[in-house]
Amino acid sequence: MQLSPERCRPMSLTASEIKEACSANSDEMELLHGSNRLSSPEHVRRRVSGNSSAEGSPRICRQQSFGRDIGHAAAETYLITRLSFNLLGYLGVGYRWITRLLALACYAMLLMPGFLQVAYLYFFSSQVRRSIVYGGHPRNRLDLYLPPTNDGLKPVVVFVTGGAWIIGYKAWGSLLGLQLAERDIIVACLDYRNFPQGTISDMVSDAAQGISFVCNNISAFGGDPNRIYLMGQSAGAHISSCALFEQAIKESRRESISWSVSQIKAYFGLSGGYNLFNLVEHFHNRGLYRSIFLSIMEGEESFEQFSPEVRLKDLSVRKAAALLPYITLFHGSADYSIPPEASKTFTDALRAAEVKAELVMYKGKTHTDLFLQDPLRGGKDELFDHIVSMIHADDSYALRNDAVAPPRKRLVPEFLLKLAGKVSPF
């Protein structure tokens, strides 16, 4: 990857830090207090551009000590470890999960050369703004991945990570965020409450609030509020699709809203499941036991509410479906974590409701091939190229730059990637 860390860079942006740096600027204080909407987006865009130094560093950039960087890294590592033990605690530690844990440890060790490179950039790159607060609940944070240049407003991807609804975390999107930023695309990776800290309604609410924050405030960071794309992977695809549907239903009923579905140019669902009725037995057989799954999803009586595919059968939802953006679903044909049939049936349901939808199936790809192994491999990546081409479809200048962009750097040797694929528990 082309990103390089700098000594002067923005770290986790807390309210006190931004207040100290920007106390004289009422627009920035509006971002912190009151609603998510900036009072004058045009003015803020001019200010962000005008206050940049010759090297392109924003005014809120401050010198940070190496010791503080290590402190942030340690805190993030502790959280990831705690989430992993939470997962094990709720799934049990029987023979099946001991073997899966060992397989997961081997899988992570084999991919560690790539993970370490990505982690270094995540913690130390000047192009990453970590832990921006978007709401008042725990885990209401997002990471921003910014392109190296600030010449005009950039398209934006709001990304909701996966994690079996239990270990989802915003840093899981760092590889995607860093690589899309190289192509002049801003990425906002949302964190959200996981089970048992929250259940599915909390997760969907958090995702919707994070999307609202981005829609209303991204211009302050150089993003184009008219070119926002929503994307989710695995459980994140389920959560983000539920948030999108819920927002469309609110709009169709003329309820009060803080963001509009019309602000989302397209939705990308990667390896997701959209019908809980069809997934409960599958997950039970793979170790996400029925009792836990029902607790996460607030009981079987809530399955319909949190199954976008099923909701499309309700005639009262058809009016809301007409508000949905173009939807593209991506899935690997060898995905055993969430069967590819999940994306096929959802695409059929969307088309039956006259929603413009496309299904892209990748032959022989597993649940982690598309999101981890292929990006770590570097070079040409069909999924990555497809997403970038859709985002840049109306930008001839960006398309020309994409055509001559250097191949992405390989982060993990091929033999390690193949071994990781063999031992993957996913």
Active site members: 234, 335, 367
Cis peptide before 196 (omega within 30 of 0): yes
CA distances, 421 to each of 112, 114, 175, 348, 401 (Å): 14, 15, 18, 30, 33
Chain centroid to Cα 120, Å, comes to 19
* Cα–Cα dist 46/119, whole Å: 32
* Cα–Cα dist 303/310, whole Å: 9
* Cα–Cα dist 235/165, whole Å: 6
Tally of CB atoms within 10 A around 29 = 16
* Cα–Cα dist 135/139, whole Å: 9
What is the residue whose two structure tokens read 């923005």?
Answer: 10
CA distances, 39 to each of 61, 222, 259, 344, 366 (Å): 23, 16, 15, 43, 45
- E strand or H helix that includes residue 9: strand 8-9
* Cα–Cα dist 311/244, whole Å: 12
Q: In this structure, what token pair is assigned to residue 287?
A: 């170790």
Residues in CB range of 258: below 8 A, 6 or more apart: 35, 36, 37, 212, 216
- E strand or H helix that includes residue 311: helix 308-311
* Cα–Cα dist 406/388, whole Å: 14
Q: In this structure, what token pair is assigned to residue 27?
A: 């627009």
Coil, strand, or helix at residue 22? Answer: helix
The conformation of residue 330, written as its DSSP 8-state character, comes to E
CA distances, 286 to each of 90, 111, 339 (Å): 14, 23, 12
